[in-house]
Structure 1
């Protein structure tokens, strides 16, 4: 039985409800079902309870690194690096060294056939721990302009230690090659679970109250939750039969409090609701009529694709990476110019045209079928086996 080591390091935690955590769990479970021995190593505390549960066959090492205090000299190095850009992410490198030592207590490189690194700190851990003796696949879980464009040369050289880099959208392949010139780049998307027709949103129904829904962390930089709130506030008086439900984790309390105050000042507390997190995402999507997704950029957009698979028409931005590769304007959703006013116009276009909602939602569900789990995990298995084969017999694979 071949052994896969999935490394999920950095500030991330398996207790969170975000997309990368979901992908980690789904991959671990899927590869276990396909006959691999799967080991997951993270920086979490030993008593961490994953938000998305791993199957019993998945072995987890929680290395308890996130709680370790960062030494003063490492913080100084980080501040110098912000100005002179000399090193590869000093804080992450320090934690990677700790993680490497802890991982060595559980596992040796000879016990593993392939490593999959979920973020940059995981690449640092893998390169320290295996020292090039185990095939390494590096995953890029966000837009390339943010995940590579913000790296200095030292960080990019670290990424090039991977044997192959995986990206989430076809357009990201050539974009990534602008930053890493020696490492192969492949496109494998995230999975999108097909939704049976009887479980999709019923957009043709007449309702007393229609719902605009969004799913994602409450965030001002990437998810731009404020744009949805402000856009709907412009429309609320004209469309009293509509409401907004915002599902997602609160990351920055100050930002969330500002949004709540904005809603209260306009008397929209019953029309714009912050619902928290839920494990019944599909059920919430089924009850909605429009999916709003005002993100500035995405790696793939799991919430968006889940909404599309549920048959919801979506509103997003032309400029948003990945969003503009999943939403086809006028065919399965609406793409808008940047800004609150344009987003409000996109919402209004769907709010006033039920037939258009039905048409676009139907096409959205059809467009998600190529991302079914079996197809995606087969792509992953082929990539993993190719890397293992290349490591065992490099001459044959040249």
Structure 2
């Protein structure tokens, strides 16, 4: 069977959870003997970050022939040179005039959005007709809309939802126009099936979806009982760990810093370590310096060996505002670390069982309270960490792959 995996943006050079799962699924389907191709549409050079089985084709359909009309960015000058200020002022005025004329030509922002979407969708249809797959798997609702807008397919399509479904078609997390949200919901009509991460996420599917819903969580690496972290060992230094993209609007690393700053004097032999890269490095670095805790809080950058970093830690803090699954948290728990996060965070509240595998705080003050409990008691950390390790066994990769195999078999010709 020819299986086409589509992640319309972000796959090339991407190291996030969606890219990881896309590669994981592609490798599995190839191992089953299927002909697998991954397709994207990105104005970028590079390749897959996560290893792909030999024979899996990666196609970037991007072409300068795909016409896209874009508004010009408006920049303010922040320097002190008066000539530069005048130059920026002129360029900004020219950009405003250009944008006004473009929006008038396109009948407003919605018209501009649909024009660009239509051009990309036409390119996808042309590509799809040339590949002629037996099954399409889209890695987001955005990818689903990209290929189906004003297009019709007889090919079955499965959408893999790597977050809570409504995050993909609403403006809960960031701005989406009414037009975009409407089109995203409409795209669900093209689906034969949808894969969601937790049973509770079925309640967040739009009423436009009439296909088959299947719960298949993300795969979590497994470890033998004698491979997990020994949290009873007495150390000179103990580590609180966080792994994730440095994006405070979602991951809220600044909350972890504020929390640690509240307790650091009471626990002088503890450190807070962040692994990951992102746009908010400077913001977080400034916050650390403002607290004068450069010797206690560390922004370590990207790591190719997250498991080794997890095994050096004593607990895992994950104060995200929203998540789909929280793969970094799940991996930490699988290694035997207790988890600490917010009760209101989707994904996190599905993984951490309060007072069994970690703690779920209702607010930052409770986060401080539970952090102090964990830092003060190695026996508690060990107990919760062992429970977390056992709890993650239900997400063993082979179990998740078996569910995927059963799902795609429904569409074998």
TM-score if structure 2 supplies the norm length?
0.84
Question: Aligned in 2, Cα 1:72/1:325: closer, same or farther, shift over 3 Å?
Answer: closer
Name 2:81's counterpart in structure 1.
Answer: none
SS at match of 1:152: helix
CA offsets, 1:8-48, max 9 Å, x none?
103x1331211111101111111111221111111245741
Question: Aligned in 2, Cα 1:355/1:60: closer, same or farther, shift over 3 Å?
Answer: same
Q: CA deviation at 1:135?
A: 0.7
Question: Aligned in 2, Cα 1:268/1:159: closer, same or farther, shift over 3 Å?
Answer: same
Measure the CA separation in 2 of the matches of 1:143 and 1:265: 35
Q: CA deviation at 1:356?
A: 0.6
How many residues are aligned here?
374
Name 2:229's counterpart in structure 1.
Answer: 201
Aligned residue among 256, 259, 278 for 1:228: 256
Aligned residue among 373, 376, 388 for 1:352: 376
User: Equivalent residues in 2 for 1:1-398 (5 A)?
Assistant: 2-10=1-9, 12-44=10-42, 47-64=45-62, 70-72=68-70, 76=103, 80-81=109-110, 91-102=116-127, 104=129, 107-109=130-132, 112-127=133-148, 131-150=152-171, 152-176=181-205, 178-250=206-278, 252=279, 255-339=280-364, 341-388=365-412, 392=413
Q: Point out the more displaced range, 67-76 or 31-40.
A: 67-76
Q: CA deviation at 1:80?
A: 2.9
Q: CA deviation at 1:201?
A: 1.5
Measure the CA separation in 2 of the matches of 1:78 and 1:232: 51
Q: CA deviation at 1:164?
A: 1.1
Measure the CA separation in 1 of the matches of 2:257 and 2:115: 38
Measure the CA separation in 2 of the matches of 1:34 and 1:20: 21
Q: CA deviation at 1:301?
A: 1.1
TM-score if structure 1 supplies the norm length?
0.87
Measure the CA separation in 1 of the matches of 2:115 and 2:108: 9
SS at match of 1:213: strand
Q: Is the 8 A contact 1:88 1:155 kept in 2?
A: no
Measure the CA separation in 2 of the matches of 1:90 and 1:319: 38
SS at match of 2:330: helix
Stretches of structure 1 that go unaligned for 5 or more consecutive residues are 393-398
SS at match of 2:185: helix
Question: Aligned in 2, Cα 1:225/1:91: closer, same or farther, shift over 3 Å?
Answer: farther
Question: Aligned in 2, Cα 1:287/1:72: closer, same or farther, shift over 3 Å?
Answer: closer
Question: Aligned in 2, Cα 1:245/1:78: closer, same or farther, shift over 3 Å?
Answer: farther
SS at match of 1:6: strand
CA offsets, 1:186-205, max 9 Å, x none?
21111112112333222111
CA offsets, 1:215-251, max 9 Å, x none?
110112111111111111111111111101101121x
CA offsets, 1:291-338, max 9 Å, x none?
010111111111111111100001011100011111000000100013
SS at match of 2:234: coil
Measure the CA separation in 2 of the matches of 1:13 and 1:136: 19
Measure the CA separation in 2 of the matches of 1:18 and 1:78: 36
Question: Aligned in 2, Cα 1:355/1:315: closer, same or farther, shift over 3 Å?
Answer: same
Q: Is the 8 A contact 1:17 1:249 kept in 2?
A: no
SS at match of 1:53: coil
Measure the CA separation in 2 of the matches of 1:159 and 1:356: 45
Question: Aligned in 2, Cα 1:181/1:103: closer, same or farther, shift over 3 Å?
Answer: closer
Question: Aligned in 2, Cα 1:264/1:90: closer, same or farther, shift over 3 Å?
Answer: farther
CA offsets, 1:131-187, max 9 Å, x none?
2211100111112332233362222011221111111111001221x5434233221
Question: Aligned in 2, Cα 1:124/1:307: closer, same or farther, shift over 3 Å?
Answer: same
SS at match of 1:297: coil
Measure the CA separation in 2 of the matches of 1:67 and 1:337: 51
Measure the CA separation in 1 of the matches of 2:6 and 2:153: 15
